[in-house]
C-alpha cells in the first residue's frame, strides 16, 4: 500500500489500541486516522475469527455513505491476507443486498447510524458479540443529529468492550458522549503544527541556569499572572520548581507520573478555578489537558522534540483565544531552540530580562559572511572560490615574512 512511515495520530493511537484502551482521538481529515484504528483492529480480530463461524465482533460507525466505502476499502486492503470479512450497511443502497450479506456472516460491520438503527429496530442484526466499537467523524455525526441513534446503538453492544471515538475537535458534546460510554479514556490530540503555533505570541528569555527558578517568580509577579501552565522536562525538575514556588508564596500545584489520578485531577481543577497560579507539569502528565482560555504557557525546561513543543504550546491559544508562550533558555537550550524554530518556521526574539543579565559563558556565534549577488545567483563555484582564497592568504603570508 506504499505506507513508508506512520503518521503522528498513528504513532499515538496504535499502541493504546493494541492494549485494549478506550481512545478519544482528535485529528483532522487526511492525517491517517482510519489506518490508526484499522491496523490494531485487524491484529486483534485475526486471533479470534473462525472461518466457518462468522460472528460480528467489531462495529465501525461513520456519518456518510462515502465514508462507509472508504473505511471498508481500507480494511479490505490492509486485511488482504487475513480471513476477515467486512459488511457494509449504508443508506442509499438496497436493504436486501445488505441483509443477504448479514445472513452469510461477517466479522466487521461498517455502517451509517440511520440504516443501522433501522436494522436493529427490525431485529435484522445481532450486536451482542461486538467487542470493539469505533465512531469515526463523531463530531459530524452529532452535527447531523445522530446522537439519539448512536446512544441506542451503543446500548445494544456487548459489555465490556473497547470503544474508540475519533473527531476533528473534542467538543463538549463529544466529551459527554465519551463520559457516558467509555471508561478510563486515553485522549489523543494531533493538530497541524502551523495551526497550533500561528495563533500564539512567543517570547524567549536567555537566563543563567542557576537563576531560572528566580526568573519564573519574577515573571509571575511582574506580569500579574494568575493562570500559568509551566512545563518541566522531568519529575525531579518539576518537584524542585514546585517546592521553590511554594517557598516564594506563589500558589502552585503539580502533575507528573508519580502523582495519582485523583491528585492530578485536583491540581488541574485548582488551576481552572483560579485557586492556583501555576500548575507545574511534565509532558506525560499534561496529555489531554484542556483549559479553554489558558493565557500563558512557560517552558521552564525545553522538551525532547518539536512535537512535544507543539503539544505544550497548544495548551494555550485554544478555541480562537489568543495565547502566549514564554521559553526560558540556558546555554544548553540554544541548539534545540534553533532547530525547533526552523521546523516550525518561527523566528522568536531572544531577550534578557531586566535584572537577569547573563554571567554564564555564552557559546561563540558563527559570523555570517554576506554573499555577493553573483554568489547568490550561483555564478561562482564555491569550492574553487575557497581554494583561491586559501591560496591567496598563504601567498600574502609569505610576502609579509
The Cα 101–Cα 103 span in angstroms is 5
Final residue of a structural domain among 190, 208, 243: 190
170, 202: one domain = no
167, 292: one domain = no
Q: What is the pTM of this model?
A: 0.51
Does residue 321 fall inside a structural domain? yes
Does residue 383 fall inside a structural domain? no
Q: What is the pLDDT of residues 297-315, one digit of tens each?
A: 999 999 988 867 877 887 7
Does residue 385 fall inside a structural domain? no
245, 198: one domain = yes
102, 74: one domain = yes
13, 161: one domain = yes
Model pLDDT, residue 384: 46
Q: What percent of the chain has pLDDT over 90?
A: 55
Final residue of a structural domain among 142, 166, 190: 190
pLDDT band at 381 (very low <50, low <70, confident <90, very high): very low
Does residue 135 fall inside a structural domain? yes
Q: For 253-262, what is the mean pLDDT? A: 79
182, 206: one domain = no
pLDDT band at 246 (very low <50, low <70, confident <90, very high): very high
pLDDT band at 345 (very low <50, low <70, confident <90, very high): confident
Task: Quote the cell numbers at residue 223.
Answer: 506580569
The Cα 300–Cα 256 span in angstroms is 15
Q: For 176-204, what is the mean pLDDT? A: 79
91, 31: one domain = yes
Task: For residue 316, give its domain range.
Answer: 194-351
- At residue 331, the 3 state secondary structure works out as helix
* pLDDT at residue 235 is higher than 90: yes
201, 312: one domain = yes
Can you give the length of the chain in residues? 401
Beta strands in 116-220 (DSSP E): 132-135, 162-167, 186-190, 200-206
221, 181: one domain = no
297, 165: one domain = no
Q: For 124-152, what is the mean pLDDT? A: 90
207, 172: one domain = no
Total number of domains in the chain? 2
* pLDDT at residue 195 is higher than 90: no
Q: Residue 203 forms beta bridges with which residues?
A: 326
119, 205: one domain = no
Task: Quote the cell numbers at residue 317.
Answer: 491559544
Does residue 64 fall inside a structural domain? yes
Final residue of a structural domain among 334, 351, 368: 351
Does residue 367 fall inside a structural domain? no
Q: For residue 312, what is the domain's CATH number?
A: 3.40.50.300
Amino acid at each position: 500500500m506504499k505506507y513508508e512511515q506512520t503518521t503522528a495520530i498513528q504513532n499515538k493511537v496504535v499502541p493504546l489500541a493494541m492494549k485494549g484502551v478506550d481512545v478519544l482521538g482528535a485529528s483532522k481529515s487526511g492525517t491517517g486516522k482510519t489506518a490508526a484504528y484499522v491496523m490494531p483492529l485487524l491484529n486483534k480480530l485475526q486471533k479470534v475469527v473462525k472461518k466457518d463461524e462468522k460472528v460480528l465482533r467489531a462495529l465501525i460507525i461513520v456519518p456518510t455513505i462515502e465514508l462507509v466505502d472508504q473505511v471498508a476499502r481500507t480494511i479490505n486492503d490492509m486485511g488482504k491476507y487475513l480471513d476477515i470479512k467486512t459488511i457494509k450497511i449504508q443508506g442509499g443502497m438496497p436493504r436486501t443486498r445488505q441483509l443477504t450479506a448479514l445472513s452469510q456472516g461477517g466479522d466487521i460491520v461498517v455502517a451509517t447510524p440511520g440504516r443501522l438503527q433501522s436494522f436493529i429496530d427490525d431485529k435484522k442484526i445481532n450486536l451482542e458479540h461486538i467487542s470493539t466499537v469505533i465512531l469515526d467523524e463523531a463530531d459530524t455525526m452529532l452535527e447531523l443529529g445522530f446522537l439519539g441513534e448512536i446512544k441506542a446503538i451503543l446500548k445494544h453492544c456487548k459489555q465490556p468492550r473497547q470503544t474508540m471515538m475519533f473527531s476533528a475537535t473534542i467538543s463538549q458534546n463529544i466529551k459527554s458522549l465519551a463520559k457516558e460510554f467509555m471508561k478510563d479514556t486515553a485522549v489523543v490530540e494531533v493538530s497541524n503544527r502551523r495551526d497550533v503555533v500561528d495563533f500564539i505570541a512567543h517570547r524567549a528569555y536567555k537566563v543563567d541556569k542557576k537563576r531560572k527558578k528566580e526568573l519564573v517568580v519574577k515573571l509571575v509577579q511582574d506580569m500579574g499572572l494568575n493562570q500559568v501552565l509551566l512545563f518541566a522536562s522531568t519529575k525531579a525538575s518539576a518537584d524542585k520548581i514546585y517546592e521553590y514556588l511554594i517557598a516564594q508564596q506563589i500558589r502552585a500545584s503539580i502533575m507528573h507520573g508519580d502523582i495519582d489520578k485523583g491528585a492530578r485531577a485536583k491540581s488541574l481543577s485548582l488551576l481552572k478555578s483560579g485557586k492556583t497560579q501555576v500548575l507545574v507539569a511534565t509532558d506525560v502528565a499534561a496529555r489531554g489537558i484542556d483549559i479553554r482560555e489558558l493565557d500563558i504557557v512557560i517552558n521552564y525546561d525545553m522538551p525532547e522534540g518539536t512535537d512535544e513543543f507543539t503539544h505544550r504550546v497548544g495548551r494555550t491559544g485554544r478555541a480562537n483565544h489568543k495565547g502566549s508562550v514564554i521559553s526560558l533558555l540556558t546555554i544548553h537550550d540554544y541548539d534545540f531552540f534553533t532547530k525547533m524554530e526552523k521546523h516550525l518556521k518561527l523566528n522568536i526574539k531572544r531577550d534578557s530580562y531586566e535584572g537577569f543579565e547573563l554571567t554564564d559563558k555564552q557559546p561563540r556565534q558563527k559570523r555570517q559572511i554576506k554573499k555577493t549577488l553573483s554568489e547568490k545567483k550561483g555564478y561562482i563555484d564555491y569550492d574553487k572560490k575557497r581554494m583561491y582564497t586559501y591560496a591567496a592568504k598563504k601567498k600574502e603570508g609569505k610576502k609579509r615574512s
